[in-house]
Amino acid sequence: MSQGANGLAVAAHTFAHVQNTTSRTVDGFRAGHTGALAKITTVTGLPSFAASGMEGIAAV
């Protein structure tokens, strides 16, 4: 399970991405026709940031 959710970005009204500062991951979700989110991916191995941690996420 990812920890430390710090940011959320929504792209094209279909995908949502959540930045997890503590676990240094980004989770990807797809929104279904009812609006329910289904986790489709996790990106791991993001760099550790001293003191302030990761900050911010953007979607295009």
DSSP collapsed to 3 states, the chain: CCCCEEEEEEECCCEEEEEECCCCEEEEEEECCCCCEEEEEEECCCCCCCCCCCCCCCCC
The residue with greater pLDDT, 48 or 19, is 19
Please say if the pLDDT value at position 3 is more than 60.
no
Residue with the larger pLDDT of the pair 42 and 14? 42
Give the tens place of pLDDT for each residue, 24-49: 888 999 988 888 889 999 999 887 77
**Does the structure show a pLDDT above 90 at 22?**
no
- In whole angstroms, give the CA distance from residue 54 to residue 22: 9
Query: How would residue 5 be classed by pLDDT, with cut points 50, 70 and 90?
Result: low
